[in-house]
Amino acid sequence: MLGKLFKKTHYIRLNQDRTAAPKDVTQPNIPDGFYIKCKACGKLHDREAYEAQSSVCSACGHHFRIRPIERINMVTDENTFEKMFDEVVAENPLDFKDYEEKVGSTQAKAEVSEAVTAGTAEISGRKVAIAVMDPGFMMGSMGSAVGERITRLIEFATEEKMPVIIFTASGGARMQEGIFSLMQMAKTSMALKRHAEAGQLYISILTDPTTGGVTASFAMLGDIILAEPGALIGFAGPRVIEQTIRQKLPEGFQRSEFLLEHGFIDKIVKREDLHRALSKILSAHKEVKYA
């Protein structure tokens, strides 16, 4: 009895030169990417369970960054998304060194042609124009092509009398395009102004991170502004602000919860609830004109 209670645990030993254990010890064969670690709490998730939970940590609720097609599939009716403006891609107006090579390698790695995917889809049978920014493509930076795709989508929605839904995720304007990237702030904002004057609905959904020129333009112009839990939302980063004003910022500053408390956004919606929330908003505003 006592022998069972105090049975010594067997450990895998390393050799003195810190090499692997002896060959007769069976090692687990875990394929790359099988486990995903939560950056917020450190919990390990197996990929299948992680994807089944909409890429949200089951332990702490952290919302992982995801790709455009995943978001589109989560919130739209099955097989209704039709991509538009994929031919609009980045150019190099300032002859920035190695910019074309960087864009090309990112396109190959991300398997998309730009930092925003745009098109039309249906949500509970209601047709909408939808754009989703991609944090995996040069951190979702807004260059001329990104601004052009979003502007064309808004203009199409205005003409077709459709609501616009934009998921934002961006580090800001794309520095390689200089003033050309900054001009997209005005261009997208004017397109949204005409969309509003036509009496159409615009829903902005802020995800992690939404910063820089995107925050300073179309991200904060929604008739209704939603956000995912814990998303970083702001113009300049917290460290830059602290160095500028020489003060310590409040806990949670620039997170979606802080912005909701101070009236900058309308509601925080968990990813699993987003399809239902959008359906309700679209249904409630079906006959509403904003002009």
Mean pLDDT: which of 32-41, 61-70, 223-232 is highest?
A: 223-232
Question: Of 42, 64, 86, which one is at a domain's C-terminal end?
Answer: 64
**Whether residues 199 and 252 fall in one domain:** yes
Residues 103 and 57 in one domain: no
The interaxial angle of helices 144-160 and 179-197, nearest 10 deg, is: 10
Say which CATH number the domain at 230 has: 3.90.226.10
Q: What is d(CA 30, CA 102) in angstroms, rounded to the nearest whole number?
A: 32
Same domain, 172 and 197: yes
- What pLDDT, on the 0 to 100 scale, is given for residue 6? 46
Q: Which band of pLDDT confidence, cut at 50, 70 and 90, is reported for residue 287?
A: low
201: pLDDT confidence band, cut at 50, 70 and 90?
Answer: very high
Q: Is the pLDDT of residue 252 over 60?
A: yes
pLDDT given at position 170: 96
Q: What is the mean pLDDT of residues 207-231?
A: 97
Instruction: Report the 10 Å Cβ neighbour count for 291.
Output: 8
Q: Are residues 43 and 155 in the same domain?
A: no
- Predicted local distance difference test score (pLDDT) of residue 49: 73
pLDDT digits (tens, 9 = 90+) for 122-149: 999 999 999 999 999 999 999 999 999 9
Question: Are 58 and 118 in the same domain?
Answer: no
| Residue 199 belongs to domain spanning | 65-284
Considering the domain boundaries, does residue 6 fall inside one?
no
Whether residue 124 is found in the same domain as residue 56? no
139 and 59 part of one domain? no
- Whether residues 277 and 145 fall in one domain: yes
pLDDT value of residue 204: 98
Q: Which of 47-56, 106-115, 260-269 comes out lowest in average pLDDT?
A: 47-56
> 93 with 226, same domain?
yes
| Residue 79 placed within a domain | yes
262 has pLDDT over 70:
yes
Mean pLDDT for the stretch of residues 221-249 = 93
Among 172, 183, 268, which Cα is nearest to 211's?
A: 172
Q: Quick check: is 187 in a domain?
A: yes
- Mean pLDDT calculated for residue range 215-232: 97
Assess whether 60 and 79 both reside in one domain: no
pLDDT of residue 11: 43
**Tokens in use for 131?**
């754009």
In a domain, 232, yes or no: yes
Residue 104 has pLDDT above 80, yes or no: yes
**Cα torsion 90, 208, 201, 70: sign:** positive
Number of structural domains, the chain?
Answer: 2
Is residue 9 a part of any domain in this protein? Answer: no
pLDDT tens by residue, 41-97: 888 887 777 777 888 888 888 888 899 999 999 999 999 999 999 999 999 999 999
